[in-house]
Amino acid sequence: MLRRWAAAMAGVSLLAACAAPPPEPVPPPTADRAADARLESGAAVSTMALEPGDAAAALSSFVESCPRLLARDDASGLTRAEDWRTACDAARVWPAASARDFFAGYFESVEVAGGDGFLTGYFEPQIAGVRDRTPGFDVPVYAMPADLVRQPGYAGEGRAPLGRVAEDGGFVPYHVRAGIVSGALDGKAEVIGWAADPIDFFFLQIQGSGQLRAPDGSVMRIGYAGQNGREYVAIGRILRERGVFQPGEATMQGIVDWLRANPAEADEVMNANKSWVFFRELTGDGPLGALDVPVRPHASVAADPRFVPLGAPVVIDAADDEADGIWIAQDTGGAIKGANRLDTFWGAGDRAKAIAGGMSSDAAITLLLPRGTLARLRAGDR
């Protein structure tokens, strides 16, 4: 049941890759980043119903995030690297058993653009795949191609667009999904593995990481390396627009079932999502998020870094109680854009898949920032 914290508060901001196909997007805020949006104080962190186990897991993930928090610029404009130092120093030696006291003592709650948000879920899928091509494994898993670059000499706002330099020397957008499926990268990009099923691989790309399991039982873990610069398009929305599903019916499993039952249309529908994700092999502990640290089940959440500092704690109060609690923003996703749009990570396996695939929930979202941040921003010190 969706609850507001006892002391009436208004909202926050957050967001990343989705297991449940994204719903109609939350209307974008008028601001392009959190620092320019409406910011309001939330309830005292000490009054929030944080479960001890959730707080301990979040503390561990926060500690892993601290080196990045202290070394990178915050795209949201809310914090400076130095703002996090006191909390990070304390977190390294704080006992897990009293993790709730850590968050209550070092953070204040802030709501961005009202705080009414939406959640989906993602997980680490395991699909049939091998390192070396063998019969029945024909879907290439590409590493980042060398010719995928940002536009040279770009003088516009923001980061330079991704694309490639054409034979005539001009800069053009990179190949779309349909072109890559048709062989545009044959012999031009390293193939690190081969998947057996194009539909399974399509959804692994949406997740952004996963495992290739070979017939002999060996597993190769792969993680997000980059993307072709093309906009992500939710095929669930396309199927709703075509009348295949009614609003709220386009679950991940429902879409998979439809694609398998309609092979003549499946390629065309999947290719409507022009985005293509490239991978790298992972050898560490768990899939890596955008901070290049492992994401943890029921502790890591994907968000839009323009509205949530990556590494920051966020508190979710959702219509789906399973997602309630404190999380750490450690990932991003092509489908996760805008304030108060989050993607919760649930781990690997059938249970994680079931939870993530069914996660589609309204939520009140609160961002936790180092104490004193909001006062500094209100004073115009940015």
pLDDT score at 250: 78
**Percent of the chain beyond pLDDT 70?**
92
pLDDT of residue 13: 29
CATH number for the region 34-122+290-378 comes to 2.40.40.10
Query: What pLDDT is stored for residue 4 in this prediction?
Result: 28
Give which of 359, 286, 365 is closest to 17, Cα–Cα. 359
Return the pLDDT at 358.
86
Tell me the DSSP string of 231-290: PP--HHHHHHHTTSS-TT---HHHHHHHHHH-HHHHHHHHHTS---EEEEEE-SSS-B-T
Average pLDDT in the chain:
89
- Answer yes or no: is pLDDT of 7 > 60: no
Cβ atoms of 271 and 177 within 8 Å: the answer is yes
pLDDT of residue 191: 98
Residues 6+ apart with CB under 8 A from 219: 126, 211, 212, 213
- CATH superfamily, domain 124-282, is Barwin-like endoglucanases (2.40.240.50)
pLDDT for 132 beyond 60: yes
What's the chain's Rg over C-alpha atoms? 21
The arithmetic mean of pLDDT across residues 7-27, rounded, is: 36
d(CA 279, CA 242): 32
Q: What is the pLDDT of residues 87-108, one digit of tens each?
A: 999 999 999 999 999 999 999 9
Give the pLDDT band (50/70/90) at residue 362: very high
Every domain range in the chain assigned CATH 2.40.240.50: 124-282
Sign of the alpha-carbon torsion through 116, 331, 156, 177: negative
List every span in the chain annotated with CATH 2.40.40.10. Answer: 34-122+290-378
Q: Please report which confidence band the pLDDT of residue 30 belongs to, taking 50, 70 and 90 as the band edges.
A: low
Q: At what angle do helices 252-261 and 198-207 cross, to 10 degrees?
A: 160
Q: Does 8 have pLDDT greater than 70?
A: no
Residue 303: pLDDT band by 50, 70, 90 thresholds? Answer: very high
pTM of the model: 0.72
Specify the pLDDT at position 283.
86
Residue 104 DSSP class: H
Average pLDDT over residues 313-332: 94
Q: Is residue 120 a contact partner of residue 338, using CB atoms and an 8 Å limit? A: no
pLDDT tens for each residue of 332-349 = 987 799 999 999 999 988
Query: Minimal CA–CA distance to 120: which of 293, 233, 289, 252?
Result: 252
Per-residue pLDDT tens digits for 258-285? 999 999 999 999 999 999 999 999 987 7
Average pLDDT over residues 42-48: 96
Dist CA 366 CA 34 (whole Å): 13
State the pLDDT at residue 15.
27
Confidence band of 207 (pLDDT split at 50, 70, 90): confident
